[in-house]
Amino acid sequence: MKQDNVETGSESLSDALVYVVDDDESIRAALVGLLRSVGIQVRAFESADDFLGSEMSDVPGCLILDVRLRGASGLTLQQDTLKENIRLPIIFLTGYGDIEMSIKAMKAGAFDFLTKPFKDQDLLDTIAAALKRDREFRLQERLVAGIRQT
């Protein structure tokens, strides 16, 4: 199925990078396939430790994160990204979400919380919005850094 609407204004999503952390190989493969089919660069990880041990690219990005992982949970990884100063918008995916869990994730700064199954276009729209936010955040950071240097 061809996906439409993979642009945020005049910004293409092909200059961004989406990170996926899910311990289910079939889910990871499906997400990677979906994102690549619309021209989005993606890096996938099996665990929180694999993600935290990787190099982050200095491009707009977001993190798609399963709530339930073997080892550290997605909610724990969310906290770890804050400690490590990794400031990516986080989109949680879960097949086992409840209201309490989603509230906890959102209060900790999650961008969105989607339950499985979800519509591909809903996920793509959420990713586009998260990437737009990260792009704007990075621009503001550069402007502030430029002001501080003067």
Domains in the chain: boundaries: 14-149
Going by the DSSP 8-state scheme, the letter that residue 57 receives in this structure is P
Fold of 14-149: Rossmann fold (3.40.50)
| pLDDT tens, the chain, 150 aa long | 333 444 434 356 778 999 999 999 999 999 999 999 999 999 999 999 999 999 999 999 999 999 989 888 999 999 999 999 999 999 999 887 778 888 889 999 999 999 888 999 999 999 999 999 999 999 998 888 788 887
Q: ∠107-29-12 over CA atoms, to 5°? A: 70
Does residue 89 contact residue 133 with C-beta atoms inside 8 Å?
yes
The C-alpha atoms of residue 101 and residue 27 are separated, in whole angstroms, by: 21
Distance CA 37, CA 118 (A): 17
